[in-house]
Structure 1
Amino acid sequence: MIVEPSLSRRSALRATTAASGAACALALAGCAPAGNAGAKKGATPAEIPTGGTPHQVGKVSELAVGATAVGTANGVDVILFRPDETTILAYSDICTHAGCKVAPHNEDFKCPCHGSVFKGSDGTVVSGPAKEALPRFAAAIDGEWITVSM
């Protein structure tokens, strides 16, 4: 005859607590911000990718100086800011906090999900919870067109 040891209530509770603690840790890890959470708030992107093919995203006449807009370059959605007559700045429209789409908001960009605000003039964080600046693309004025290179 083989006698199986019985599981005490205390042992069952310990096993359940350990398992639920591990499950909680995994669930919380899934909620962590995208990207490098240790980046300094408002840090300017280190490098603007150059090269790639320029894609027309809109007409210069449709984006006033000091205004923001959205566009699509090679199937990728971008947000634009025009600081002066000769300059166009283009950024990823994906919030660096949780991956929501940011939208134009006066001279800045705002994430509707958690309220992060990014400067149109350089993509840096004005207010969080995002901690990283928006990635920037090379953009230019080419005749009557705004182009973004990818």
Structure 2
Amino acid sequence: MTVESSLTRRNVLRVSTAASGAACALALAGCAPAGPAQISAGKTPEAIPSTGTPVRVGKLSDVPVGATAKGVANDVNVVIFRPNEATVLAYSDVCTHAGCQVAPNGADFKCPCHSSVFKGSDGTVVSGPAKAPLPRYAAAIDGEWITVSI
């Protein structure tokens, strides 16, 4: 009587293919959004409540109407949009998809990691994979300065 080995080439290929599929599924699970990405994508973000003192993040003259810029307030990176002569808006520069730093991109902000684009005018998502808007900080014009409270 002969006993056939259960370790045939076909069985080895089945096992290795199943293991590869499981590894890919686990790797993709690590790309799922976390943290602020749970916010509704269609809702315009309210300003983050702040008890901080306004901090100068840049000169108003450096941000033309309709443009975006970067700044730092109390060691927190922010992105700025200037919709008109009398208003500035500030947002967190942390992408709501995977936590990369978004950057000014014309009148919008773009994430260099996965190409999410956010509107400068309200922080909402123009194109994903991000689903949630950028959190907004209180911002103001103080003479020739842009200030942000964090």
RMSD: 2.6
**Deviation at 1:70?**
0.4
Identity over the aligned pairs, expressed in percent?
72
Equivalent position of 1:86 in the other structure? 86
Equivalent position of 2:106 in the other structure? 106
Post-superposition CA distance 1:103-150 (Å, at most 9, x none): 111101111111111000000001110000001100001111111001
- Determine if the alignment matches structure 1 residue 44 to structure 2 residue 41: no
Mark the runs of 5 or more structure 2 residues left unpaired by the alignment: 1-5
Equivalent position of 2:123 in the other structure? 123
Partner AA of 1:86 in structure 2:
A
Partner AA of 2:113 in structure 1:
C
Instruction: Write the distance in 1 (CA, Å) between the matches of 2:63 and 2:37.
Output: 33
Structure 1 pair 73–46 and aligned structure 2 pair: CA distance change class (3 A): closer
Equivalent position of 2:97 in the other structure? 97
Post-superposition CA distance 1:21-45 (Å, at most 9, x none): 8876654443211225554333212
Partner AA of 2:144 in structure 1:
E
Structure 1 pair 140–127 and aligned structure 2 pair: CA distance change class (3 A): same
* Segment drifting more, 36-45 vs 119-128: 36-45
Instruction: Write the distance in 2 (CA, Å) between the matches of 1:128 and 1:27.
Output: 20
Instruction: Write the distance in 1 (CA, Å) between the matches of 2:143 and 2:129.
Output: 38
Post-superposition CA distance 1:48-71 (Å, at most 9, x none): 323211111011111111110001
Instruction: Write the distance in 2 (CA, Å) between the matches of 1:147 and 1:106.
Output: 21
Mark the runs of 5 or more structure 1 residues left unpaired by the alignment: 1-7
